[in-house]
Amino acid sequence: MKPNLFKYAVTFLAVAGFIAPDLTLAKDNIVILDGRKILLKDDGDWEYVSKDRYANTQDGRQVILKENGKWEYVNKNEAIKMAPAPTPYANPDIPVMQLQKGVVESIIKKQGKGASIKTQSVIYIDINIPSNAQTTFMLGNHDKNNITVTDDKDNQYKVLAVQPEISLKPGETGTIQIRVDGSPSILDYVTYMYVHFTPAINGIAKPMTVKAKWKDFIQKSVDEFKY
């Protein structure tokens, strides 16, 4: 006779974070999302790798709930990360920042038989303020000194402008543009650029960083830099 799972308080558990070190199928990259096993990728993507669902019984034992209606205990040797579902916006003083896109603007001028190229990089970031935030989030050009932009080769880029001026109340969203002088050199073999925000910005309780993959930046030729 199959054990009756209804006598257990089965709670599906959510993943604690979406950061994984590589794209392999190493067990360290497998986590549980809404009871389903997923693979976390280093580019921020993820995918389901099993139709089975996972759960914890009241006594803390992990079980697999098969798609065919059967179940079994998880192998003790299988390393699966499971953690209690976090409370949404557990810290109301931490806004949610997400990369929208990166653009490299280039001005090309002919000089004799050659040409000179000047570039500026613009990083667009979507900002979502938790509905239970205690303060209004404000960011604008006056915060240039509270933002730094670097890459994974330790190069730093001067912040030229932060646009537009935004003021977001709890529950509101907005998009900010961080414009910096220059762009990574092809000889630097840069993979990521980083935008660092300090707590000096109104509405940020601790340092925050947004990562942008350099190869995904859009290349755009312009007549002049407008900011």
* pLDDT mean across residues, the chain: 78
Do 68 and 119 lie in one domain? The reply is no
Q: Please tell me whether the overall predicted TM-score, pTM, comes out greater than 0.75 for this model.
A: no
Query: Which has more pLDDT, 35 or 72?
Result: 72
Do 55 and 153 lie in one domain? The reply is no
* Strand-pair category, 96-111 with 218-221: parallel
Per-residue DSSP letters for 99-119? Answer: EEEEEEEEEEEEETTEEEEEE
pLDDT, residue 63, reads 77
* Residue 143's CATH number: 2.60.40
**Containing domain of residue 209, as a range?**
96-221
What mean pLDDT comes out for the span 40-60?
74
Query: Which has more pLDDT, 201 or 30?
Result: 201
Q: CA-CA distance, 193 to 59, in Å (whole number)?
A: 45
Do 160 and 211 lie in one domain? The reply is yes
Task: Give the pLDDT band (50/70/90) at residue 33.
Answer: low
Is 25's pLDDT higher than 60? no
